[in-house]
Amino acid sequence: MKKQFRRLLAQEDLNFLLTNRVPRIALTHFMGKFSKIRNPIVSKASIGMWKLFTDLDLSDARTRKFRSMHDCFTRELMPGARVVDPDPNVLTSPCDAIVGACGAVAGTTVFQAKGFPYKMEELFGPGTDATPFRDGRFITLRLTSAMYHRFHAPHDVDVSHVSYITGDTWNVNPIALKRVEKLFCRNERAVLSARLRRGNHPIAIVPVAAILVASIRLKFTDVLLHLKYRGPNEIPVDARFGKGDEMGGFQHGSTIILFVPPGFEFVDGIATGTRIRMGQALMRLPVQQPAAADADSREALEQVSA
């Protein structure tokens, strides 16, 4: 048992060394350029090598012929590959992922891993108010490199603001999260401020980049957010999405952290280590008060009449 434990620690040390004790930003810039080389030999060899080290499954991809590794990273799914839970009282997963830390927010304190807390204010930066999410709930969704890399609206939402925060590119796997304090607050990220059209509940969607992630692309802005971006960090937007609509994507595996106010509850089966797919039920909305429910009914009736 002791030998097995020492072997596990040695493997974790090696993983941490190979993915973090390297020139992370330079390697990320290189991967961004290399992945876009449009050469059939380079593309086929790169994707073949990728399959050797991951559980890459392209059976649900719209196409399986890619001009570059970047095209494979950012692939679309074939129609019907994901089913979005239609229940209006349910918030769905914005992406395919493995659930990381999740649970209640203690005031504004969140845990990336046991013993490693951070403040929402540190994650959000000065451009986003953390007050609506005090004592609310959060869930960390880790996208591995082999997963589908686009993310979608977890409900019918209106996005009003994006804060872009440049930073490092630490690996965001569980080994690094247990060793690097406030890792998510160090990495490049975007904070999407939105409101559900049902109940007017605020939510915050935070895509966090990692090593080899060359950019975060949002469907509703005309800029590509990456480490060389020098535009405004606070970006006002006015974008509407239906539940399940594509919102953006990464160019490699990474993480999305979702924050909601008090009153939301996780559905059964959501726990650390659970594998989920985009569109799967994640949380239940707070029970609507009669006045809010009547307002929703009137809006639906007006839309039908129009």
Q: Which residues are catalytic?
A: 96, 152, 254
Q: State the Cα angle at 170 between 58 and 114, rounded to 5°.
A: 100
Q: Which residues contact 252 (CB under 8 A, 6 or more apart)?
A: 31, 73, 145, 149, 210, 212, 213, 214
| Residue 139 to residue 128: CA distance in whole angstroms | 18
Are 120 and 112 in contact by the 8 Å Cβ rule? The answer is no
The rounded radius of gyration (Å) of the Cα atoms in the chain is 20
Residue 206 has phi, psi (to 5 degrees) of -120, 95
Q: Which residues contact 157 (CB under 8 A, 6 or more apart)?
A: 194, 195, 196, 197, 203, 240, 241
3-state secondary structure of 98: strand
Number of alpha helices (DSSP H) and beta strands (DSSP E) in the chain: 8, 17
Question: What DSSP string runs through 242-260?
Answer: -TT-EEEEESS--EEEEEE
Other Cβ atoms closer than 10 A to 126: 10
Buried b (16+ CB within 10 A) or exposed e, 89-124: ebbbbbbbbbbbbbeebeebebbbbeebebebeebb
- Six token digits for residue 267: 């559905």
Pairing of strands 109-113, 116-119: antiparallel
Are 198 and 88 in contact by the 8 Å Cβ rule? The answer is yes
